[in-house]
């Protein structure tokens, strides 16, 4: 006997569905439009395989920082101004340990991440338990750790790092399917096919569950279109990697971070606590959430990711220098807000922050290829950030 479900609450039209999920789709559409514009404006250079890989390598530090900054902003619009200085401080420590003292690379990286955790605990204590505003604490941290960086480096640049350290940001996974020799790396294609199957099955299962539970659904046509475009993007990206050198090691690290933090923020109780605190801290306290612990964890986590970003950037540039990390915090904050995070907290996603970081990266790369000067690049990026926040405010006011 065929089971008949009561019709779930489904959006009546694609236009209504898009309007109801405007925050989710707006920046993704903007990213696609920006990429198409620069692909045409640069005569196809933007999306050549080598440049696609370089986009990931050049912006890896922003992607790492944007993940942590998202959690900070979710707690109530808080930001961490110290991440650039912390990244520089950890890079300086890497230079001393690895270049001067010839320490094992794995041990030095472990020490660097632990130092990042100590810094995060220090700043988290003042923010969460003494309740000094995060802006003040992290501003002090920005000055403090920039000063310590200059003290360690004494105004000099430490270089070169050993190849094993550089591999973090400039190395590639070996081709596990070397059927085409060095002309084509088949590993990204196999990985993308595997991921596509997993994504397809998960999305179909999720939609069936919504039908069963009679919850809101987007139209089937929009669901199919959205899924097909996502699969197309994944496989085109994989082809670009395969046509160049394969999968960068830093991309594997980013993949683990993005999937791990996405799961943490959407599927775990502690992750929901962060959203609850950002929505209304007093209500969160009354519901039994220890908001002090939430704040402490968020800033501890941010400094560890800042340490990782510093390690990745030092490996990419093969050096530790006094000005490393300058404006890193601004790039990360801009990526989060462009990606849909709310300036008042409680709204935003890790995936949105990644999209925002990619928007910034494509803008930088595309304008550089076109020969646009750094002055105009900064002007345009500032305008994009302002428009993203204005859009957030406008959409909030309209929904009231």
CATH code for the domain in which residue 82 is found: 1.10.3470
pLDDT tens for the 400 residues of the chain, in order: 344 444 444 554 555 555 545 555 677 778 888 889 999 999 989 989 999 999 999 999 999 999 999 999 999 888 999 999 999 999 999 999 999 999 999 999 999 999 999 999 999 999 999 999 999 999 999 999 999 999 999 989 999 999 999 999 999 998 888 775 567 888 999 999 999 999 899 888 888 887 777 676 677 777 788 888 888 888 999 999 999 989 999 999 999 999 999 999 999 999 999 999 988 889 999 899 999 999 999 999 999 999 999 999 999 999 999 999 998 999 999 999 888 888 888 888 999 999 999 988 999 899 999 888 888 888 888 888 788 777 766 766 665 5
Backbone dihedral region for residue 8 (phi beyond 0: left; psi -120 to 50: alpha; all else: beta)? beta
Please report the pLDDT score of residue 5 as a whole number: 43
Please report the pLDDT score of residue 396 as a whole number: 62
CB 146 within 8 A of CB 341: no
Assess whether 190 and 91 both reside in one domain.
no
Assess whether 161 and 257 both reside in one domain.
yes
Pairwise CA distance, residues 295 & 63, whole Å: 21
Q: Terminal CA-to-CA distance of the chain, rounded, Å?
A: 46
Q: Is residue 6 part of a domain?
A: no
Name the helix (H) or strand (E) containing 33: helix 22-41
Q: Domain of residue 178: give its range.
A: 172-247
CB 334 within 8 A of CB 363: no
Pairwise CA distance, residues 78 & 193, whole Å: 39
Q: Is residue 14 part of a domain?
A: no
Assess whether 161 and 274 both reside in one domain.
yes
Name the helix (H) or strand (E) containing 109: helix 105-128
Assess whether 61 and 158 both reside in one domain.
yes
Q: Is residue 5 part of a domain?
A: no
CB 143 within 8 A of CB 308: no
Pairwise CA distance, residues 157 & 120, whole Å: 26
Task: Specify the pTM.
Answer: 0.90
Q: Which of 247, 279, 313 is the last residue of a domain?
A: 247
Assess whether 165 and 182 both reside in one domain.
no
DSSP bridge partners of 320: 158
Q: Is residue 346 part of a domain?
A: yes
Q: Is residue 265 part of a domain?
A: yes
CB 363 within 8 A of CB 30: no
Largest CA distance in the chain: 79
The helix/strand/coil state of 78 is coil
CB 367 within 8 A of CB 55: no
Q: Is residue 284 part of a domain?
A: yes
Q: Which of 247, 263, 284 is the last residue of a domain?
A: 247
CB 365 within 8 A of CB 74: no
Assess whether 50 and 123 both reside in one domain.
yes
Number of domains in the chain: 2
SS3 content of the chain, % helix, strand, coil (to 5): 75, 0, 25
DSSP-assigned letters across all residues of 313-350: HHHHHT-B-TTTTTTHHHHHHHHHHHTT--TTSS---H
Assess whether 110 and 159 both reside in one domain.
yes
Q: Which of 213, 232, 247 is the last residue of a domain?
A: 247
Please report the pLDDT score of residue 19 as a whole number: 55
The helix/strand/coil state of 127 is helix
The helix/strand/coil state of 53 is helix
Please report the pLDDT score of residue 21 as a whole number: 55
Assess whether 260 and 333 both reside in one domain.
yes
Please report the pLDDT score of residue 1 as a whole number: 39
Assess whether 137 and 187 both reside in one domain.
no
Q: Residues 352, 357, 358, 359: is their CA dihedral positive or negative?
A: positive
Pairwise CA distance, residues 34 & 365, whole Å: 11
Assess whether 243 and 375 both reside in one domain.
no
What are 72's two structure tokens? 């900070």
Q: Is residue 400 part of a domain?
A: no
Q: Is residue 4 part of a domain?
A: no
Please report the pLDDT score of residue 329 as a whole number: 93
Give the C-alpha distances (Å, rounded to integers) separating 297 from 61, 163, 293. 21, 34, 6
* Selection from 182, 109, 142 nearest residue 302 by Cα: 142
Assess whether 203 and 140 both reside in one domain.
no
Assess whether 262 and 364 both reside in one domain.
yes
* Alpha-carbon 383 to chain mean position: 21
DSSP-assigned letters across all residues of 221-267: HHHHHHHHHHHHHHHHHHHHHHHTT--BHHHHHHHHHHHHHHHHHHH
């Amino acid at each position: 006997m065929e089971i008949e479900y009561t019709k779930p609450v489904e959006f009546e039209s694609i236009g209504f569905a898009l309007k109801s999920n405007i925050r989710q789709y707006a920046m993704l559409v903007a990213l696609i439009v920006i990429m198409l514009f620069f692909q045409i404006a640069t005569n196809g250079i933007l999306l050549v395989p080598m440049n696609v890989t370089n986009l990931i390598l050049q912006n890896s530090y922003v992607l790492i920082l944007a993940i942590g900054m998202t959690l900070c902003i979710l707690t109530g619009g808080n930001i961490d101004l110290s991440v650039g200085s912390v990244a520089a401080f950890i890079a300086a420590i890497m230079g001393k340990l690895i270049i001067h003292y010839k320490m094992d690379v794995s041990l030095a990286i472990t020490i660097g991440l632990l130092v990042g955790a100590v810094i995060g605990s220090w700043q988290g204590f003042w923010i969460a338990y003494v309740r000094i505003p995060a802006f003040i604490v992290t501003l002090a941290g920005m000055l403090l750790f920039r000063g310590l960086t200059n003290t360690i480096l004494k105004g000099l640049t430490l270089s070169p790092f050993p190849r094993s350290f550089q591999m973090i940001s400039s190395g590639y996974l070996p081709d596990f399917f070397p059927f085409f020799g060095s002309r084509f790396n088949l590993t990204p294609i196999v990985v993308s096919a595997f991921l596509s199957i997993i994504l397809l099955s998960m999305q179909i299962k999720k939609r069936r569950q919504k039908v069963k539970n009679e919850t809101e659904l987007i139209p089937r046509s929009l669901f199919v279109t959205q899924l097909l475009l996502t699969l197309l993007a994944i496989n085109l990206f994989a082809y670009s990697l395969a046509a160049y050198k394969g999968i960068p090691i830093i991309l594997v690290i980013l993949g683990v971070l993005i999937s791990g933090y996405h799961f943490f923020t959407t599927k775990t109780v502690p992750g929901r606590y962060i959203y609850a605190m950002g929505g209304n801290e007093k209500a969160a306290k009354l519901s039994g959430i220890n908001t002090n612990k939430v704040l402490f964890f968020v800033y501890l986590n941010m400094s560890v990711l800042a340490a990782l970003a510093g390690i990745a950037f030092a490996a990419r540039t093969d050096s530790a220098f006094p000005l490393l990390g300058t404006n890193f915090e601004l790039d990360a904050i801009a990526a989060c807000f462009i990606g849909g995070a709310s300036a008042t907290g409680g709204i935003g996603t890790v995936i949105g922050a990644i999209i925002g970081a990619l928007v910034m990266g494509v803008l930088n790369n595309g304008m550089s290829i076109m020969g646009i000067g750094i002055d105009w690049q900064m002007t345009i990026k500032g305008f994009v950030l302002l428009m993203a926040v204005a859009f957030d405010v406008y959409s909030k006011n309209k929904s009231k």
